[in-house]
Amino acid sequence: MRILQVTNKVPYPIKDGGAIACMNLARGFSLLGHKVTILSMNTVKHQVKLEEIPEAIKDLAEFKLIKVPARISKISALINLLFSKKPYNAVRFISGPFKTGLKNLLQENKFDIIQLEGLYVCPYIPLIRQYSSAKIVYRAHNIEHEIWERTSEMASGLVRIYLKILSNRIKKFEKGLLNNYDLLVPITERDRAILDEMGNTKPFHVSQTGIDSSVLIPNSKKLEHPSLFHIGSLEWTPNQEGLIWFIDNCWPAIHEKFPNLTFYIAGRNAPVWLQKKFGYPKIVFKGEVADAYDFMNSKSIMAVPLFSGSGMRIKIIEGMALGKPIVTTPIGTEGISTTSGKNILIAETKTEFIDAISKLIDDKELFDKIGKNAIEYIHEKFDNITTASALVEFYKMQTS
């Protein structure tokens, strides 16, 4: 099959959840013998030069990058708030140059499947219909309005009001795009159910993000035990909120109980105001690490205090694949169907987080059991080739 994946950000470096979700599936398609093309908006915020993408990655897919500003501006956001009913998040990605590039690509190539990676490339569906007879797939990485609803609940004052307006606009935008596509591919069963409730009537196939077991290899040679760590994009609001909550509410008690324990925080694009929160004793901020898997392998307990967001947390899947005992919230484990006490520990309150982390430090048998079960579970349920193969079979059924 000839498959085109369309993204609102270049999926390289393969570090954040969106890039991992896109490239893991591209890898699966390619290894199964399908021809993959990736058309991406090359935004100012996440600009990538084609020559920066390694040849091994380019062997998986042909990359087409189109410059799109998509700048975030307070003035533009204010104008949008006052004079538009469309969500600012979506308007930023509507681009004349991208329309032209997409049109040219469709005129020069024939595709069987055009897979739209996320909500913000769905406005291009009418253009795709004009120039291609391919099946159009909406791959829903999350329920976008839910992210902003949950984020607004964590905020206060004018910010809360603005985020409420934004989440309502995104929900209306999301509903308006339902059924414009031919096929729906949610990443979690929960998201599928929500999209059906919202009005989806198109054929669907739930396809979670798979993991590449040839890359995610547990290695305890450099393990610092006990130690605590968090890794994720630090420009993402749910990660920021969760970390601040954890540092303010949990870390003082954990540090008092285990004064030699170090809490390592890794992630890119942490704003200065957030970095100032990392000044507590025994908190070490690593910034963007060169090799995320080496970093994760070298630390023992993974803390993911997440109270907003939507979709599937890929860093949790990767952490489990590396045998990390993870302490997270119910939101953190949405879509992964874990079992607390068996392959993960679920906590919601300050006391529950402190108790769960304390148990993993004090009880090596529990630490080992959770890590071992996590590896087995992820390898059984999230193999990348199995995931990609099942999706291809769904596509073949729908195109025959």
pLDDT at 154 over 80: no
Architecture category of domain 224-381 in CATH: 3-Layer(aba) Sandwich (3.40)
For strand 2-7 and strand 283-287, is the pairing parallel, antiparallel, or unpaired? unpaired
Query: What's the DSSP call for residue 290?
Result: S
- Which 8-state DSSP code applies to residue 218? -
**Domains in the chain: boundaries:** 2-210+383-399, 224-381
pLDDT band, residue 159 (cuts 50/70/90): confident
> Residue 244 has which token pair?
């601040």
Mean pLDDT of 154-172: 89
For the chain, what is the mean pLDDT? 94
> 258-285, pLDDT tens digit by residue?
999 999 999 998 999 999 999 999 999 9
pLDDT at 360: 98
The pTM assigned to this predicted structure is 0.85
Please report, for the chain, how many H helices and E strands are present, in that order: 17, 12
Give yes or no for a contact between 69 and 149, defined as CB atoms under 8 angstroms apart: no
pLDDT for position 79: 78
pLDDT-derived band at 1 (thresholds 50, 70, 90) equals very high
CB contact at 8 A, 4 and 39: yes
pLDDT > 80? residue 330:
yes
166-175, 295-304, 322-331 — which is least confidently predicted?
166-175
CATH class of 2-210+383-399: alpha beta
* Domains 2-210+383-399 and 224-381 agree in fold: yes
If you average pLDDT over each of 40-54, 124-138, 166-180, 201-215, which comes out highest? 124-138
| Per-residue pLDDT band at 98 (split at 50, 70, 90) | very high
- The token duo for 109 is 């190539």
- pLDDT of 361 higher than 90: yes
| pLDDT at site 317 | 95
